[in-house]
Amino acid sequence: MNELKQMIREVPDFPKPGINFFDITTLLKDQHGLKKVIDSIHEHYRHTEFDLVLGIEARGFFFAPTLAYTLGKGFVPVRKPKKLPAATVQMEYALEYGIDTLEIHADAIGKGQRVLIIDDVLATGGTAAAVAKLVEKLGGTVAGLGFVLELDFLNGRQKLVGYDIHSLIHY
Ligand code: AMP
């Protein structure tokens, strides 16, 4: 995974002073890097039993639909407020740099469905924990949480105790 690390650009003080932003666009534009990321996450979940892949706006959308396709599942988007047209369920959460709200269509997950949650970065874990709660609020079960990279020093896993977590790259 070191070759993947070399493709990720670190941008200091973005989006505000003190945040070291891990920019995956430099990895996405590399054909080998993109393939390696998708193939590796696919390989990890190939034998996992689940029904849906859920992607978190915005950068989760870079990976989740492709993985849903390769794994032969449907894709469900979790979006920023006021983007989804039908009835939604909301969750507020704390970011590494602020507070935000996410929404999911109320009928997006059926009772008892198993859901794989995909995002680009596991930082403080606030986003992922909120999305896991949304899944459970709709009667679904979290089959796993998959990330391209994890910032170990922010201890995001402490907010996700009891869930199966997989990250390709660790910082
Ligand atoms: P968190 O809720 O703190 O785990 O933040 C996770 C979300 O924020 C992910 O969807 C990332 O896209 C984004 N994020 C937070 N911190 C960073 C960072 N240092 N570099 C890149 N993305 C980040």
Structure tokens at 154: 């922010």
Residue 18: inside a domain: no
Answer yes or no: is pLDDT of 171 > 70: yes
Single pTM value for the model: 0.96
Cβ of residue 157 lying under 6 Å from some atom of ligand 1: no
For the chain, give the mean pLDDT: 96
59 is catalytic: yes
Nearest residue (by CA) to ligand 1, atom 19, is: 21
* CATH number of the domain enclosing 96: 3.40.50.2020
76 CA from centroid of ligand 1 (Å)? 20
Amino acid at 79: R
Nearest residue (by CA) to ligand 1, atom 15, is: 123
Cβ of residue 95 lying under 6 Å from some atom of ligand 1: yes
Cβ of residue 126 lying under 6 Å from some atom of ligand 1: yes
Residue 159: inside a domain: yes
Positive or negative torsion for Cα 59, 99, 117, 105: negative
Residue 89's closest CA among 76, 78, 105?
105
96 is catalytic: yes
In the predicted model, what is the mean pLDDT of residues 143-151?
98
Residue 34: inside a domain: no
Cβ of residue 52 lying under 6 Å from some atom of ligand 1: no
Q: Give residue 127's domain range.
A: 48-170
Percent of all residues in the chain with a pLDDT value above 70, rounded to a whole number: 99
What does the alpha-carbon distance between residue 49 and residue 31 come to, in Å, rounded to a whole number? 29
Residue 32: inside a domain: no
In the predicted model, what is the mean pLDDT of residues 20-43?
98
Rounded to an integer, what is the distance from CA 99 to the centroid of its chain?
17
pLDDT tens figures, 130-141: 999 999 999 999
Structure tokens at 13: 């003080």
* Residue to mutate, 101, 127, 155, 157, ligand 1, most ligand atoms under 8 Å from C-beta: 127
Residue 96 has a pLDDT of 60
Atom index in ligand 1 nearest the CA of residue 60 equals 10
Nearest residue (by CA) to ligand 1, atom 10, is: 121
pLDDT tens figures, 57-94: 999 999 999 999 999 999 999 999 999 999 999 999 87
Residue 4: inside a domain: no
Answer yes or no: is pLDDT of 95 > 90: no
What does the alpha-carbon distance between residue 126 and residue 132 come to, in Å, rounded to a whole number? 10
Residue 97 has a pLDDT of 63
Total number of domains constituting the chain = 1
Residue 153 has a pLDDT of 97
Cβ of residue 119 lying under 6 Å from some atom of ligand 1: yes
pLDDT tens figures, 101-124: 999 999 999 999 999 999 999 999
